[in-house]
Amino acid sequence: MSELPVAASELIAKIESRTAVSGIIGLGYVGLPLAVELAKAGQTVVGIDVSTGKVDLLNKGVSYIQDVPAAEVAELVRAGKLSATTDFKAISQMDTINICVPTPLRKTKDPDMSYIDAACREIALHMKPGTLVILESTTYPGTTDEFVLPMLEQHGLKAGQDFFLCFSPERVDPGNPTYQTKNIPKVVGGITPACTAVAQRFYSLALDRVVPVGSTKAAEMVKLLENTFRMINIGLVNEMALMCDRMGINVWEVIDAAATKPFGFMPFYPGPGLGGHCIPIDPFYLSWKTKQAGIEARFIELAGYINGQMPHFVVSKVQNALNDAGKAVKGSKILVLGVSYKRDIDDMRESPAIDIMLLLEKLGAEVSYSDPFVPALKVDGQTWKSTDLDAALTAADCAVIVTDHRAFDYAKIGGKARLIVDTRNAMKGLAPEKVIRL
């Protein structure tokens, strides 16, 4: 690579001497873990968030993210390495800025860029020359070049010379005890080779491995490929579950047997629907973008439809199970076990449990839930509170296992519940006479 611009060399020197100030815009599931890792590596980190609640908690040394240890946050705050503010003027003091804001889909399945837009406007207004800006929010290929770059260059600064712009996809997996921010390889692609080089040195300070790619578009596509791969394979196995259900075949037995093949097969498992911020949403960024290029993303659209139907399939299993027991859904007491989108976390984003509960209520059921990680939840103005499991199991006409938390005693559930619809195969080998599997 050719010699780096002077501004790049100066910024790298500040990063490696730990004199750079690193900013994180958005202190959620992506931003806070990254802020903590950078601070642990010796950087001074300032987080910016519009939520005064998050900012106040962080400045008190309190962690509000399950995977971020409270003791680490408290120590970093005490040491002056980590702080937070709601004031975007702090950008003027920052040498590096990571954008970690939400990127939801609108109801029309097109990207909602309002959070990225707001962050970039503030950066353009306050950014000093020589700053490294990295977008981590998942979005469509071309966002960094086509959307972010013009905003940051509008006041005369040139990317690759006066400031440095990259995309690096977040790969956070909430609740994963093995792979977290520090040891998940970090992909990064810049507007120019100099941009990539600066970002690579920046991340290498705190993270175990950095993987450079040749462009921001390639880096953006990496994230979408990863999650589209999972979404389509989950859609395939969910469709297989629908087929097996009609043919009276145990889909779980089929998957376990297929998984014994030592090559050419990777097991995926059916479930009540997709949850979390990434897998239900990210592929539709790609689908939306390809439509702009005149290409129809058929696999994505079909898998999205199948996965979206799974809550309805779960409800139909509940209906049939109750019918076979001589009961109607209307008036029945139904207990949902687990409402977070996956096992052993408190994350409710896009959780299929919400759809299942609302659909059952619409049919006239009396719905309650129990979840050790989610004490209360609000949906459409309605508030549910987690109920005592033992009492609720005894009273329920049907228990529906939506999230298979390890904290649940499944043998006890099998002994107390009258009827169980199990969407996760959590009751494998237990109480077969009363368990209806997906």
Q: Angle at Cα 324 formed by Cα 318 and Cα 328, nearest 5°?
A: 60
Task: Report the Cα–Cα distance between both ends of the chain, in Å, rounded.
Answer: 55
Residue 195 annotated in active site? no
Gyration radius of the chain's alpha carbons: 24
Of residues 142, 192, 190, the one with CA closest to residue 168: 190
In terms of Cα–Cα distance, which of 48, 43, 44 is closest to 25?
Answer: 48
HEC string for 218-235:
HHHHHHHHHHHHHHHHHH
Q: Return d(Cα 309, Cα 370) in angstroms, integer.
A: 24
Orientation angle between helical segments 216-247 and 282-292, nearest 10 degrees: 110
Q: What is the C-alpha separation between 160 and 288, in angstroms, rounded? A: 29
Cβ-Cβ contacts under 8 Å for 43 (sequence gap 6 or more): 15, 18, 20, 21, 22, 81, 205, 206
256 contacts: CB under 8 Å, gap ≥ 6: 267
> Which residues contact residue 318 at a Cβ distance below 8 angstroms, ignoring those fewer than 6 apart?
329, 334, 360, 398, 400, 421
Using CA atoms, how far apart are residues 311 and 341, in angstroms rounded to an integer?
Answer: 13
Alpha-carbon distance of 87 to 191, in angstroms, equals: 28
Residue located via tokens 């997996």: 173
- Nearest-angstrom CA–CA distance, 223 and 289: 14
User: What is the spatial distance between Cα 438 and Cα 428, in angstroms, rounded to a whole number?
Assistant: 12
Distance CA 339, CA 402 (A): 7
Contact 286, 228 (CB under 8 A): yes
List the catalytic residue out of 120, 166, 278, 398: 278
Maximum Cα interatomic distance, the chain, rounded to a whole number of Å: 78
Size of the chain, expressed as the number of residues it contains: 438
The bridge status of strand 398-401 relative to strand 420-422 is parallel
Residues that are catalytic: 278
